[in-house]
Amino acid sequence: MEDEAAIAVREAALRAAAEVPGPSDAGQPEAALDPQNQVSRETSASQTDLHEEGLSATPDNETRSIDSDRAARDARVTFRITRGGHNRFVVAVANQKGGVGKSTTAVNLGAYLALAGARVLVVDLDPQGNASTGLGLDHRNIEPSVYDVLMGETDGPSAIRQTAVRNLDVLPSTIDLAGAEVELVNAFSRETRLRQALGAVRYSYDVVFIDCPPSLGLLTVNALAVADELLIPIQCEYYALEGLGQLLRNVDLVRVNLNPELHIGGIVLTMYDGRTRLAEQVVQEVRKHFTDLVYRTVVPRSVRLSEAPGYGVPIALYDPLSRGGIAYRDLAFELADRTGLLAPTREGAS
Ligand SMILES: Nc1ncnc2c1ncn2[C@@H]1O[C@H](COP(=O)(O)OP(=O)(O)OP(=O)(O)O)[C@@H](O)[C@H]1O
Ligand SMILES: [Mg+2]
């Protein structure tokens, strides 16, 4: 017999699914659903040598470079990305709900794809600057930032920084960005500022992830206006699907008015807690209604994932063999596979 929570989750999923504009056109060759939740296994391994060798808890503003080949080996990233292919694309990571794992997803997918050989840019479009700090930048000391870029005070390439991971760059943000929504209200082409700013530089990367703020305001519209696809993290919690319909309606509006290329690339289930029946119900309902839009990899709740930003590094450097690390590696592989980024060897399917 169903309990109230199950019924409520089902109804919310139905309402949100009704907003999806037809089947995804992302071209997923392996979209068949696995009835099992693909939650990565916990391993007994603890932190890597890299961590033991001195990542400090206070990220400085220097670019610490690490041995990316070794990091890729330690993280068991055996798949490779075809570089410079025609499949370069821009992914907006968005959900107006706060704290669902947007920044964690943008940073960690970016890092794993970079370790697999892709050239990756993470655009931090959130005044909270979580993606910037998560990638080792000191948010008190960032100049120029994405704010200056949106306001036309500097060009995109001048604000882009390298991170410790080879081929992983970041266009950082600061709290100044909070003013941009207001300052741009009467500005010319305010919705396409980011698209203009990224201009040709986006073609120097195989993938660009845009970490959106938890709102559907002008910043998120700017992200959707330049994105090829939207990636929606959904937390495996009771209110997970609230607001999803509104997000999907906004996608329609942006597609019609600003960016005909935009499509929904996928839904990622995050913070799965296998001990709760509710998490399982959310997973089942979301899969039932959004079918092949939902990534098979489910990101578990993992304390390691929440610790890594404190060290200014992605999980791939902090604790790659933790459950969270393995999940983001698997998700990166799945995304690369879905979007045609995988090099032909297709090694390393995990
Ligand atoms: N799978 C996970 N397991 C445990 N903690 C997580 C996980 N994913 C994210 N977190 C933590 O949960 C918090 C929210 O995650 P995150 O910042 O990625 O969400 P967000 O959607 O970007 O939030 P916001 O809407 O504020 O931008 C952070 O402290 C993060 O470290
Ligand atoms: Mg965030």
Per-residue pLDDT tens over the stretch 201-230: 888 999 999 999 999 999 999 999 999 999
Pick the atom of ligand 1 nearest to 106's CA: 18
- State in Å: Cα 213 to ligand 2 middle: 6
Mean of pLDDT values over 258-267: 95
Q: Greater confidence, 166 or 40? A: 166
pLDDT confidence of residue 200 = 82
Is residue 199 predicted with pLDDT exceeding 70?
yes
* Those residues with Cβ within 8 angstroms of residue 177's Cβ, 6 or more apart along the chain or in another chain: 125, 126, 127, 129, 145, 146, 147, 150, 219
Higher pLDDT, 261 or 25: 261
Going from the Cα of 305 to the center of ligand 1, the distance in angstroms, rounded, reads 8
Distance CA 327, CA 2 (A): 30
> Which tops the pLDDT comparison, 29 or 164?
164
Say which ligand is closest to the CA of 233: 1
pLDDT at 295 over 70: yes
In ligand 1, the atom with minimum distance to the C-alpha of 126 is 27
CB 212 less than 6 A from any atom of ligand 1: no
Closest ligand 1 atom to Cα of 327: 1
| Of 303, 293, 253, the residue nearest 273 (C-alpha) | 303
Percent of the chain whose predicted confidence (pLDDT) is above 90: 64
Nearest atom, ligand 1, residue 299 CA: 1
pTM of the model: 0.86
Instruction: Check whether 30 has a pLDDT greater than 80.
Output: no
Whether the per-residue pLDDT at 29 is higher than 60: the answer is no
| Local confidence band at 27 (pLDDT 50, 70, 90 cut-offs) | very low
pLDDT reported for residue 6: 58
CB 173 within 8 A of CB 129: yes
Residue 147 has pLDDT above 60, yes or no: yes
Q: How far is the CA of 96 from the centre of ligand 2 (A)?
A: 10
For residue 34, what are its two tokens? 């696995």
Give residue 5's pLDDT: 54
Residue 138's pLDDT band (boundaries 50, 70, 90)? confident
Higher-confidence position of 222 and 56: 222
Nearest protein Cα to ligand 1, atom 30: 306
Domains of the chain: 2-16+57-339 (3.40.50.300)
Is 48's pLDDT higher than 60? no
Which of 40, 102, 104 maximizes ligand 1 atoms within 8 Å of its Cβ, making it the mutation to test the pocket? 104
Distance (Å) from CA 3 to ligand 2 centroid = 33
pLDDT bin (cut points 50, 70, 90) of residue 7 is low
Strands 168-171 and 120-124: parallel
The residue ranking higher by pLDDT, 5 or 300, is 300
For ligand 1, whether the C-beta of 281 sits within 6 Å is no
Choose between 203 and 28: higher pLDDT: 203
Mean pLDDT of the chain: 84
pLDDT number for residue 271: 96
pLDDT in tens, 330-344: 999 999 999 988 887
Residue 136 has pLDDT above 70, yes or no: yes
Statement: residue 89 has pLDDT above 60: yes
CA distance 78 to 186: 49
